[in-house]
Amino acid sequence: MTAPSSYLGWKIDYANPPGEAAYLDPGSVHWRVYKNPIALAVGGVAAVLLEFADARIRSGVWDHSTYKADPIGRSKRNGIAAMVGVYGPQSAARRVIQGVTNMHSRVVGQTPGGEAYKALDVELLDWVSATAGYGFLNAYDRFVSPLSEADKTRFYEEAHPIARLYGVRYSPSSTADFLKMMDRLADRFEPHPIVEEFLGIIQSGKAAPNAPKVLHRALARASVSLLPPIVRAKLALGRDYDLSPIDSLMLKAAGKLADRIAVANSPPCQASQRLGLPADFLYRRPAEQKRLLATLSPRPEGGLPQAS
């Protein structure tokens, strides 16, 4: 058995207890997207850029987190929180998300312009949640495997239960909903040196030291390429951040390769086993996945299926 991961001292075992449901179904688009490290890396940076466009979130993250001093640790904690919501047992997901909420309750302050903020403001919670979904979804679609419009809409709709655990009141149900949400906030968006500093950390590789160095620069530019044009313009991220065709091909190759490699001790593999599926369930052909899902039976108390 592989060792569980941990979040703020809490052990998270994706393989146990056997049969405990996740908040999302193993046949969901989320399970497909979140298994890919390239999609998570590119999409995660894109999400932060979307958040940093708003001075309230930018100040909250930069002034109250360890990102500047410990980008690796902060990135790992963010990744664990995202993974446990998708693959973890529901009990573990609730515990971790409550821990995140407790930390956010202490994040209050003022922007350099004098505007008060607190991390649990509903408008900010809604936007942060929406940007994560937009980033991961579009990174997978662009750099791993194209998704149909129906799958994209399903992805947004699947996110609602997890978003509610974070205190989110409005969660977009489609790309169109996300863009309308963005348009309502767009007048607030502005460039700032912190955005450049953040991208500098990404390009230096400090946030992902295990990734090949050649990917660091490409990852930052790929993330910028996912931004809606109005956001990129507001952040003043010009041609210096254009993604080259070579970098795009390199990322796509890495993304497609990662989508075929099952890592035994990873959350996607352990979660599959917890529900009675093969560890490499998510890496099999769609027809085989469908056949395996058909062998599962509903849990007596409701929720997601498990092995019969």
> Domain ranges in the chain?
5-283
What's the rounded mean pLDDT across residues 109-125?
94
> Is the pLDDT score of 166 beyond 70?
yes
Instruction: Output the pLDDT for position 2.
Output: 45
Looking at the predicted structure, is the pLDDT value of residue 183 above 50? yes
pTM, full prediction? 0.92
Tell me what pLDDT residue 307 has: 45
Cα separations in angstroms, 66 against 10, 75, 181, 207, 245: 19, 10, 29, 12, 34
Contacts of 42 (CB under 8 A, 6+ apart): 135, 139, 142, 143, 219, 222, 223, 226, 251
Find all residues with CB under 8 Å of 13, minimum gap 6, and list them.
Answer: 4, 89, 92, 270
Report pLDDT digits (tens) over 67-84: 666 666 666 777 888 999
Q: What angle do CA 125, 129, 131 make, to 5 degrees?
A: 120
pLDDT given for residue 71 in this prediction: 64
Average pLDDT, the chain: 90
Residue 298 — very low, low, confident or very high, per pLDDT cuts 50/70/90? low
12 pairs with which residues across the strands? 5
Q: How high is the pLDDT of residue 212?
A: 74
| Size of the chain in residues | 308
Residue 174 has pLDDT above 90, yes or no: yes
Residue pLDDT, tens place only, 18-57:
999 999 999 999 999 999 999 999 999 999 999 999 999 9
Q: What is the reported pLDDT for 80?
A: 85
Pick 171 or 2 by higher pLDDT.
171
pLDDT at 205 over 90: no
Determine contact, residues 28/272, Cβ cutoff 8 Å: no
> With pLDDT > 70 as the criterion, what percentage of the chain qualifies?
90
Say what the pLDDT of residue 66 is: 65
Q: Decide if pLDDT at 6 tops 80.
A: no
